[in-house]
Amino acid sequence: MKLLFILDPYTGLNIKKDTSIAMMREAAARGHELYVCQQHDIHLRNETVRIKTQAFEFSKGVNWYNLAKEKETLPKNFSAIMLRKDPPFDNEYLYTTYLLELAEAQGGTVINNPVAVRGWNEKLSVARFPQFCPEFLVTANNQQIREFLAVQQDIIVKPLDGMGGTSIFRLTANDPNIGVILETITNYGKQTIMVQQYIPAIKQGDKRIVVIDGKPLDYALARIPQGGETRGNMAVGGKAVAQLLTERDREIATTIGHTLKAEGLFFVGLDVIGDYVTEINVTSPTGIVELAAQAPCQPATVFIKALEEKLSA
């Protein structure tokens, strides 16, 4: 296979932990050709999508990769194009999904489907599965949030376009900073946010369940808050512990997985706290390196094998 990975700037990638790098290493080990580009290497010339790409090879030492000379090519010349650009999902990300949608219409295969990536906001998409959701509210109205807080007494507020635990706050009914936090996170009522009931089970971990082609891996990566922190995200110091899926985890992941597969969302990370799904990560989910280090599963291998099967079907 000829695989193109759309990545963040290469020099900023963590070669020991990056999920995209793990996928690429496995693909290379299985004999597939690797190519890379960045978001703005995709462009539209008249009606045709074109991409400036470079052949990629792993190497040893400080310079851990080699890149060939840049060439401009068509999306259909790759077996698959992996969209692995990190959020935030801003206008530039939105424009990228439009270009990749056109690329698919011109014979390209994009993982994950760009139309679905655009349509599945990682916070809002939980509303598609109300049977698995905690109590939640989506609004920019500070009074509505205060009323929700008065009922729940303990809530989480977070932006709709964040990642890695950024700008997530826990608020209790007697918090002296309610006003300034709500003013800041909603930009004085101009920015819509997600408000969720606080789930005490976060103390046992915010579980990342990896779903590949509709099927969950047998193990989740529980990200456990440390040092009095509310958030379990590894980006803010959460401790990662592999755990077997519970019956509830499997029910959530299998049910949601059927819909994900139908929508063309091939590689997805579900965030599950206790009995509830809190986020559905479709842009550039991570965590497979840490999971592989602790559990008897090889997520990167499962991913590449599933991709091989999909493309050969």
Q: Is the pLDDT of residue 227 over 80?
A: no
208 is catalytic: yes
**Distance between CA atoms of 238 and 286, rounded to whole angstroms?**
14
Catalytic residue among 123, 249, 263, 290: 123
146 is catalytic: no
Catalytic residue among 223, 249, 263, 290: 223
Catalytic residue among 104, 249, 279, 290: 279
60 is catalytic: no
50 is catalytic: no
CATH (domain of 83): 3.40.50.20
Provide the total of helices (H) and of strands (E) in the chain, helices listed first.
Answer: 8, 18
Q: Which CA distances in Å does 298 have to 54, 68, 217, 240?
A: 28, 29, 9, 16
123 is catalytic: yes
246 with 150, same domain: the answer is no
231 with 286, same domain: the answer is yes
Q: Is the pLDDT of residue 265 over 70?
A: yes
Residue for token pair 């219409």: 105
281 is catalytic: yes
- Per the structure, how many domains does the chain have? 3
Model confidence over 100-158: pLDDT tens digits?
Answer: 999 999 999 999 999 999 999 999 999 999 999 999 999 999 999 999 999 999 999 99
What residue numbers bound the domain in which 98 lies? 2-119
Q: Is the pLDDT of residue 41 over 90?
A: yes
279 is catalytic: yes
Q: Is the model more confident about 236 or about 299?
A: 299
Catalytic residue among 85, 231, 233, 290: 231
Region of 233 please: left (phi>0), alpha (psi -120 to 50) or beta: beta
**Distance between CA atoms of 119 and 138, rounded to whole angstroms?**
16
**Distance between CA atoms of 183 and 95, rounded to whole angstroms?**
29
261 with 210, same domain: the answer is yes
The answer to whether residue 127 is domain-embedded is: no
DSSP state of 61: S
Exposure string (b/e) for 180-199, b if CB count within 10 Å is 16 or more? ebbeebbeeeeebbbbbbbb
pLDDT, residue 88, reads 87
Final residue of a domain: which of 173, 198, 223? 198
Q: Which string of DSSP letters, residue by residue, matches 164-200?
A: TTTT-EEEETT-TTHHHHHHHHTTTTTS-EEEEE--G
161 is catalytic: no
